[in-house]
Structure 1
């Protein structure tokens, strides 16, 4: 149940984050994109670990 809740919320978080990145000043976009990249890696790693445990 908790995993389904995370899956439902994640797309909305990404949409909000991209909107913030689009509206941010140019110098802050690099930092925001770096945070996106870290979030993507974290999600990928979590999915990989979960798949291996099954």
Structure 2
């Protein structure tokens, strides 16, 4: 579980997730979190498979 960098609170569920990946390489899944104190922060949620290039 990601921790808020400002207050240290642990947050379970992200508000939003997206894949951050350079072309042709394996990427990561990033999540946007909001702690109980109202701070927003981003953290790595998981690994993403490499993108398939269009032929």
Report if TM-score (shorter chain) is over 0.5: no
**Higher relative contact order structure (alpha carbons within 8 Å, sequence separation ≥ 6):** 2
Give TM-score, length-normalised by structure 1: 0.18
Task: Give the strand-richer structure, 1 or 2.
Answer: 2
